[in-house]
Structure 1
């Protein structure tokens, strides 16, 4: 099994140019949710099958429940093979990951006929985490070598389209244990930024290994000056999320749920001994609720969480790993979990786990109605389809089929911001 990882390059250059100021202040970047109740289109990114080193095609559709799309003589071809996608307001961003080098970013919007139209193209530098915060996009370029312990943050205002702040964080000092803090993601929580991190040796030999496998940390920054407020620490789990994987979710009540899978290593060997679990930070606080611990390992056996999709009302669709290789990070099967009542149910109706070859958080979408989620799944026979997940019954059914391509992203794009 293979999980397509989200590796997004997104430091916005000074020629940010025509990026519209029409961003939703509550969610200017959509990383898997969205609101399909308004007028717009679903965007499906797909890589043509039976080819190597080719670019994705962007396809549009009105629904994910049924029908067929094809990459043959259809869609908007992208430039470059490593593309990753997000939305902001009524714009769809196609980002070329530069693998350390600057990469192009192309933005599209829907025209009156519902077709994608290019509105701008600009250059970026590679960053490893980003998030919408107030009316900014906060970006983090993260240090990860012994000779460089300074990480850089940048803010781009979505109304003025200007870089309106930048600064440095000494991630060795932040870790405070001789290793470096490496942020897994960034999330706005109230008027602060929560930045979970894992501790890495960054020694040139065992770079992402650690001497501290059974601890989790969340750096809490004040906004907008990004001064450090506190660090939330715990030793009931390993680190929150994973590389370029968001382990936090803020629910409708303002409570924060954080998941951890025991994936920490030393010299290539898993050394975590804690369970896979959810923990909770109550609204308005900067500490874990010690009375809350949702032990996923007790429910799933040997499987770990590989990614999450929040469905709303406490319900999550979880990608789960192969029980025979739980630390692989690859999605083997799926489960529905509710963090409110701590229920867990395996999903039926998905393809044979042995045949799943591509699935990830980027391939998922939910209207956050507490009921429904969608995931693009590709199988070893080369077939790709969007599967609809029902939270109440813990079942999945095949919806939209994509012919001639591997689904790499699903996004909802409104016609108006």
Structure 2
């Protein structure tokens, strides 16, 4: 069942930028095929290039942790012309793959499992204003586009556009404009990075502040978090002076650094970019609290021996996977960050992921990590090997080799999906 989005402007943009797709029916040489039993499966995306065109192969497998080799001929594989750069999920109902286009219209796709467990590309869409950051809360997946000129009641003023995908309404997209001029007062213009569920149909998002035509960052020694309702209206503003702004960076892309533990407490991380005196670390907003917890501060930079963090994921309980920059004391939006650590937030225990995982010096690239079933999964590429998924045990911070894919150059995305009874 293919439910294409009905927004005409998005479809017009998609006609120019869409990722063409077809089914790959050559199934020779593979094991562990898609079966007809209704059970959860893991999503994998592999990419390859012929020098001029990039191809993405998406597939649903039964196990990521088993040390096996599959290929692009895997049963049910969907081949796309083009590539995706960021991956979002809200539970296991749907997976969203989006291609970041530096402020230009951003094409993407929605993947789900059918009632029989077959992978389906359900919807294609285009975010007409692009996006800077993605995340999920309640039954929504949200993409935020910052620095936009608003229409309607705030016509001509600066703001951000939130694209809200409603997973309970055929993945329909609704746009909400949020005025960001003077968001915390004065002439400062806000932008938003990251999404975390705040309960009661609200979400947390980090607020970054800038002034002037060049968007020069301001307030580098303070951190702001906004609680927003489902229509992207401000409910409460949180501020603290122990960290700088929250949000990872790679050129103009922004990565959320806000995530919940299994009890619904929200940890807010910060890299400590630019001319700040603050270290790379984390603060805590306890469930339903009206302010940051004054008693909690985790100096991650000190615990790591001087390294700064870029991305964060909750693994299980209060264990988090951190993507760390490779050089101590050095951080910009373009340098490499391909080493990983596991932290337990309650005890502030920091462990590097070393055993069983390729050394930084051996890595060609890593993909977008994924967490499920109490484990973290990281794809890695090393010379003369097939791209491979490594499974991280948070209790020991050790890795073991899982599934590999031949015929691709990287595995940029992973996820987990459950069969949907309304999809054939």
Is 1:307 aligned to 2:308, yes or no?
Answer: no
How far has the Cα of 1:109 moved from its partner?
3.5
Larger CA deviation: 65-74 vs 232-241: 65-74
After superposition, residues 138-149 of structure 1 pair within 5 angstroms as 138-143=142-147, 149=158
- How many residues align? The count is 371
| Match of residue 395 from structure 2 | 392
TM-score, with normalisation over the residues of structure 2?
Answer: 0.77
Residues 12-411 of structure 1 mapped to structure 2, 5 A cutoff: 14=7, 39-48=39-48, 51-65=51-65, 66-71=67-72, 75-87=77-89, 90-111=93-114, 114-125=117-128, 126-143=130-147, 149-161=158-170, 166-191=175-200, 192-201=202-211, 203-204=213-214, 207=215, 209-221=216-228, 223-243=229-249, 244-263=254-273, 265=274, 271-324=275-328, 326-328=330-332, 330-349=336-355, 350-360=357-367, 362-367=368-373, 369=374, 372-381=375-384, 383-405=386-408, 406-411=410-415
Deviation at 1:156, TM superposition (A): 4.5
The one of the two structures with greater contact order (alpha-carbon pairs below 8 A, sep at least 6) is 1
Change (3 A) 1:201 1:351: farther
The Cα of 1:166 is off from its aligned counterpart by 4.7
| Range with bigger deviation, 302-311 or 94-103 | 94-103
Question: TM-score, normalization: structure 1?
Answer: 0.79
Cα distance, 1:174–1:347 mapped onto 2, change above 3 Å: same
CA-based RMSD of the aligned residues comes to 3.0
Partners of 1:148 and 1:317 in 2: CA distance: 38
User: Which range is displaced more, 175-184 or 72-81?
Assistant: 72-81
Whether contact under 8 Å (2:42, 2:63) holds in the other structure is yes
Q: By how many angstroms is 1:353 displaced?
A: 0.7
Deviation at 1:39, TM superposition (A): 1.1
SS at match of 2:301: helix
Instruction: Judge conservation of contact 1:14–1:162 (CA < 8 Å) in 2.
Output: no
Query: Which runs of 5 or more residues in structure 2 are unaligned?
Result: 12-37, 150-155
How much has 1:302 moved relative to structure 2?
A: 1.8
CA 1:80 to 1:199, structure 2 compared with 1: closer, same or farther past 3 Å? same
